[in-house]
Chains A and B, each alone.
Chain A
Amino acid sequence: MGYFLSYYTYISFGCWVQNMLAAIIMLIFICFCVHFQNTAGQFFSSGHTNNWAVLVCTSRFWFNYRHVANTLSVYRSVKRLGIPDSHIVLMLADDMACNHRNPKPATVFSHRNMELNVYGDDVEVDYRGYEVTVENFLRVLTGRLPPSTPRSKRLLSDDRSNILIYLTGHGGNGFLKFQDSEEISNVELADAFEQMWQKRRYNELLFIIDTCQGASMYERFYSPNIMALASSQVGEDSLSHQPDLAIGVHLMDRYTFYLLEFLEDIHPASKSNMNDLFKVCPKSQCVSTPGHRTDLFLRDPGSVLITDFFGSVRKVEITMEAIHLTDPILQLEDGPMSEEVQEKTYSYVDQLPVSEIIHQKPKQKDWHPPDGFILGLWTLILLVFFKTYGIKHLKHIF
């Protein structure tokens, strides 16, 4: 403001046109500042600073080619939109590209007639083959890994990370089959996410599952900031797509196929939001009914960008302003200040204001009447009883 005044006094000496021009330029500049303020507000509205992805394919054997292709197509999209390999944990239960039965070795195709090779040249698989187990998956999520685990196998997320979790394989009502020998239940998964929440391992979580009866897997979630999508409801089967005669197997599942097509149109600067994602693969294309769950999520899904989870968009604000650091940094004096500090006692804020966040009513403790009152009440009842029915029964008690 002071700046403006001094300029104004200077102007009173100069040309009137120059005055107006300067005024107009100032106005525009202020408008831009305000606008930047707004977009900056939008920029930082999501609250995350980094992105992670955990992509899991749980089935092995050649006839489950499509599950590996599903996972690899999501991997490819996520990598293309910016999440680096160091932030992706890719778990593939079987090696389809180098399977003896693959007529095109070192490739995994997602489209018929071998249009799109999702295996590529730079895939990095973190957990492969028999390492994909329920235990390893849960350890990755919760971070309880032995100290010798390399960084590439860890989910090193913090409380400002947005995590995308994608699961595919064979599933049923309430469980997902891992490798033909074990299962993970929806309760286990929900508890794992709660552990993650309590350890502050995520800011927001997007959970996508493409299996039969996938909606049963997100029914039990109870931690905040989770949005879930599934390819089929309870009682429905997710169907496979893209039968390829040359390779001899189905190449993809329907939901992930249309998801891939949707993601191919997303680029790092696109503004598509979650509502568009919910519309992917309607019943006419998918035959099963995809479902989603947003009640645990704080923000409105319409304001959540796809790239919040699928990409790693760096929040960079370019400014032309020069910032003057005018005051030198002063050393703080010790001594009297520390005593002052010690006088005040601080306590930690409640770390788990879950009830505030999810707008739950506080759990009501049941009210019991005081003990003495109960004793008196019973005595009264007894006396009344004996009065009416005769005193001779009293001796049975005493």
Chain B
Amino acid sequence: MGLLSDPNRRRALISLLTRLNAPICVLCYFAAVCWFMGLSFEPFTLRTYMSENAMGSTMVEERFPAGERALATAKEFGAHKKKVGGMPVDWLVKTMQARGLEVFTQRFSRTLPFPDENNERYIVEGTNVYGILRAPRAPRTEALVLSAPCSPGDDNNQAVGLLLGLAHYFRNQVFWAKDIIFLVNEHDLIGMQAWLEGYHHTNTTGMDWSPLQGRGGSIQAALSLELSSDVVTSLDIVLEGLNGQLPNLDLANLFYAFCQKIGVLCTIQGRIQRNDWDSVSGYSHAVQTMMLMVMKQASGRSWGDHGLFLRYHIEAATIKGINSFRQYKTDATTVGRLLEGMYRKLNNLLERLHQSYFFYLMPSLSHFVSIGYYMPAFGLLAVILLLRALDLWVQLATPPSRNEDGVADIEQSSTGVLSVLTPLVISHLTGAALYMLPVRFQEMAVEHFQVSETEAVVLTAIAVYTGGLALPHNTHRLISGEGTEQGWRVLKLVAVLYLAVLLGCTALINFSLGFILALTLVPVASFVTPHVPKLLSAVVLVILSPAFTLLFSVFIFQELQEMPVSFQDGWMLYLSVISQGILDHYLYGSLVYPLIALMVYPCWLLFWNILFWK
């Protein structure tokens, strides 16, 4: 009863807390890491299963016959694309109309904030072409989407060909209860964003598009197709979308169920599933697959054209055909049959997919880890921050062992508050500068330094980031009083709590991002004080800062994909990752860049401030 109110007991508890704080923190950290690594151990995962009753089993008869015709259409499409030098709009419109669809087009244009060197575009203008297959007997209240991107060169011709072949076949069936929209989008994600914004009458990214003339009702599910070869050896499903959002697990379950029924090899993250989970190599295979998913989710990028649908609560996934050097090849007819089966099952849906999980990690296509199992890993890291905060609170609450009168104490506390406010404000101003300066002052940078705009933006960002490191030495001159023992404790308390709330909210929305940031920032937050050896701690702090975390992630990501890079290439890749991140934010509304620039970086700067507290 008197556990917290009894002063003796309270003192005992508090002394326990302060004595064991550091060991418990270290223990929690290692427990969190072990928990996370243990997630991909197969006995700890669950097998995937279909949760939606209306979709049931794979009990359909797939009869799609026209794979060869689809490939012929693909060749035609490729030829016209080459002739026009872009998207062959007229040919597509004519072909879709010949298949009995209601065809509409949408023009869009966007000037990127700075040139995109990966895709070599700056001022983007394009046209989306889409045809609507009206359900023969149903009211036009719901729709499904099948999309294929129109990519430059020879990519994805077969995807468009298969799309047109399926459109022809679907048109002859009477059992569609939803409209099916066949979409060919130009400039992949930009075109998709324009189409989705036009469809839902929103304009969040400042793009310029013509309104859509034809609509199909509320979209229940969408699949995006990427197929660049006549035959495939495996089909890969891509789930990660914008801001780390994932589609409902039932969509992946549906894909896996049909792969098993038809006998096509299916993969996730491009890795084939292994059955020997009890061996070391089998376990490490699963760990690598899960780590790939974690990194892709943390980047907040949309890894396929489907990623932009998720924001509108439309379950979507991208299916990629991969042609490697395996012996057993699957032809286009079989791929068409798989898609036909999936669409027939999606047709049976009565409500949006909601029965299965929205938050999960997949160490393989047949096993998954739900949020209830992976969240404790992050929880353990958050507990460390809370323990540290408690420790600081206790230290602040015990009165200092000096014989001064109360006036000086109050003075100290008031200067403490002021001295806390200044670093906070200045850190956030630096963060705001990191967010706004790179894009705004790119012309000035280009004038003064002989670099391209993209490089100017990225290098400005890095410059602002590094400039922030010099702050503590300078800001202390601004404050009138010198810092006190109480001061840095108050600042650290505020910073630790701020970090805890920030990481907690991030982990709720995008677990991978929150967890990776927590892995590096929580040790920083725990051990930094003005009294640790300055040089060593400064180096450690810099290595654990968000920018270096990103650098290491780039190298690890390349390792995991079995394409390791040298340091030079890695650095160039790193710069391109930063530019892509900034572009994602401006083009599609990705939140990773503002989160890091406006919140995580200032928080880290606060700890940098504490390190150099005088």
Contacts and interface: CB of A to CB of B under 8 A. Distances in A.
B61 A246 contact: yes
Interface stretch (B156-164, B168-176, B437-445): B168-176
A220 B398 CA distance: 72
Interface string B132-151: 00011110000000000000
B347 interface: yes
Given A243-B59, A248-B348, A249-B59, A100 B54 contact: no
A62 B137 contact: no
B493 interface: no
A375 interface: no
Contacts of A249: 56, 59
Given A63-B348, A100-B138, A248-B348, A105 B174 contact: yes
A391 interface: no
Contacts of A243: 59
Contact of A248 (B60, B135, B137, B350): B60
Interface residues of B, number: 19
Interface string A348-372: 0000000000000000000000000
Given A100-B137, A103-B173, A245-B59, A61 B344 contact: no
A102 interface: yes
6 residue pairs, one from A and one from B, having the closest CB atoms: A100-B177, A245-B61, A100-B138, A103-B175, A248-B60, A101-B177
Contacts of A62: 54, 348, 350
A103 B53 contact: no
A199 B60 CA distance: 50
Contacts of A244: 59
Interface in B58-84: 59-61
Contacts of B56: 63, 249
Nearest to B173: A103
A239 to B, nearest CB: 14
Given A63-B53, A100-B176, A100-B177, A248 B344 contact: yes
Interface of A: 61-63, 98-103, 105, 243-246, 248-250
Nearest to B55: A63
19 contacts: A61-B350, A62-B350, A63-B53, A63-B54, A63-B56, A98-B137, A100-B135, A100-B176, A101-B175, A101-B177, A103-B173, A103-B175, A105-B174, A245-B61, A246-B61, A248-B59, A248-B175, A249-B56, A249-B59
A244 B347 CA distance: 17
B135 A61 contact: no
A248 to B, nearest CB: 5
Q: Is the interface of B mostly helix, strand, loop or mixed?
A: loop
Nearest to A99: B177
B350 A103 contact: no
A248 B343 CA distance: 12
Contacts of B60: 245, 248
A60 B174 CA distance: 21
Contacts of B350: 61-62
Given A61-B54, A100-B177, A105 B348 contact: no
Contacts of A100: 135-138, 175-177
Contacts of A246: 61
Nearest to A248: B60
A374 to B, nearest CB: 55
Interface in B282-301: none
Given A63-B54, A248-B60, 4 more contacts: A61-B54, A101-B175, A246-B61, A248-B61
Contacts of A102: 175
Contact of A101 (B53, B59, B348): B348
Contacts of B347: 101
A98 B176 CA distance: 12
Interface string B173-212: 1111100000000000000000000000000000000000
A131 to B, nearest CB: 20
Nearest to B54: A63
Nearest to B138: A100
A50 B529 CA distance: 96
A320 B547 CA distance: 110
B348 A103 contact: no
A281 to B, nearest CB: 23
Contacts of A248: 59-61, 175, 344, 348
A62 B175 CA distance: 12
Contacts of B173: 103
A246 B173 CA distance: 12
B138 to A, nearest CB: 4
A100 B175 CA distance: 6
A169 to B, nearest CB: 15
Contacts of A101: 175, 177, 347-348
Interface string B339-360: 0000010011010000000000
Contacts of A250: 59
B137 to A, nearest CB: 5
A136 to B, nearest CB: 24
A99 B176 CA distance: 10
Contacts of B348: 62-63, 101, 248
Contacts of B59: 243-245, 248-250
Nearest to A244: B59
Nearest to B136: A100
